[in-house]
Structure 1
């Protein structure tokens, strides 16, 4: 899932474009970052005088036969502002055979200070703030029956990212840390708020990645989530990922995912595969 923002060392930018991998990949809600969490980076390869962006498709499956397909697009404006849109389609497997839940997300991100790559003489990370408006098209079907309060909601977050060149035996290290204010159940797939809790709380997310070469990145993410529904306990999400950049404008990410309990099924581990085109 992940992303990699920036870890290349000696790669010359083309025609003023940013370096390879500096826009990351795309997380499941559509923002540039890792698979599970937004990073402070801005999507695409556009510099402060250019517009960049990305297109992505993601497929994930768990051992309980839950399936997630997500498509989306993001625009990076002058390496300062990012806008994104995505739709996730979540198949409910044998929990509710033949049915699915659709979640639409519109996001905006603003880089407020720092540069994750170029300010190597400072410990100050790149810092971005963002918001994601989410709308559950199938709220009345399963989420409402489980006790969710709302079909739509807004997540707010602060993201920080910093690249440390040659930090681990000569390999580049990327660290990210976020704070999310949210009421979303399973990222919003099961609605927002619940009978147990219907108020915003702040949850952390962290990730680390190492660039093994100019074309390969490996890392891990951990995202804490709310537990608002008394009918089913919700657990935190974790992944271990590897991303391949076969071409400057293309990335492929594979990951092992652990989403804990989903609805009536425990130990929902599985896999994730995502492809992305950057420009």
Structure 2
């Protein structure tokens, strides 16, 4: 795995700056602590890999708010950088945007390209329920429209399209005092998608070009008010004949020292990517809420 210490220092400095500065800022909303989740690599509220039914930030039914995010994942042969922002209107509708850039650390010299990138435009609507108090939790419906910015490599390996739209249904429920008197958040998401490696390798392919339903799950245990530990699993389609696409999973810890800032770190296993085996490494994300 590539070393991330040089890249992590600016992020940690920004975390420290935000934490020190936040007492002077206005409260970002009135929902309960950590009920906005963090931000996925695709820009929507959730964990790192899986969107949740929760909407970004802390806006209640009479408020609006949002988040901004910087994320980085370093695995054996690739580095993924993500910048994103989301707005929450009245805890009913979330709109988001994200830019993903995948550095081809190992393949770059062979392929003649240094990176792949895509833009993701998302919208999520809360259908019904409440994550805290409803018997069946909160349910939301979301769309993520993804547009490739560099399609030469995906097209060469068999991808059919340079853009596509994922649709997903998420349900999230917080169980009070569920494990050793600690609260437990459980999420399940069903995603309809044609995306290869989340869209970074295009959409559809020679093996399959139709939508498939993928199951994604998350659990998070509140160790105390400021610390959450958990895991995620994301089932993936397998559209391209040149290389098998593996499922993703991670084990994460999130620190929420203040309602205006959160930091998430995870050990991530992305399986084989583009024929390169065992892509595992560290994920770090910083989120600010307003």
Q: Is 1:89 matched with 2:104?
A: no
Matches within 5 A, 1:12-91: 17-64=30-77, 66-91=78-103
Give the Cα separation in 2 of the matches to 1:153 and 1:99: 23
Find the counterpart in structure 1 of residue 275 from structure 2: 264
Q: Is 1:102 matched with 2:117?
A: yes
Unaligned stretches of 5+ in structure 1?
1-13
Instruction: Give the SS at the match of 1:142.
Output: helix
Choose from 137, 142, 148 the match for 1:125: 137
Matches within 5 A, 1:189-208: 189-208=200-219
TM-score scaled by structure 1?
A: 0.92
TM-score scaled by structure 2?
A: 0.88
- Structure richer in helix, relative to its length: 2
Matches within 5 A, 1:75-224: 75-97=87-109, 99-119=114-134, 122=135, 124-139=136-151, 141-224=152-235
Give the Cα separation in 2 of the matches to 1:46 and 1:84: 15
Give the Cα separation in 2 of the matches to 1:73 and 1:35: 14
**Displacement, 1:96?**
1.8
Give the Cα separation in 1 of the matches to 2:130 and 2:150: 40
**Displacement, 1:208?**
0.6
Instruction: Give the SS at the match of 1:144.
Output: helix
- In the TM superposition, structure 1's runs of 4+ consecutive aligned residues that sit over 2 Å from their partners are none
**Maintained 8 Å contact 2:245/2:273:** yes
Give the Cα separation in 1 of the matches to 2:265 and 2:218: 16
Aligned length: 261
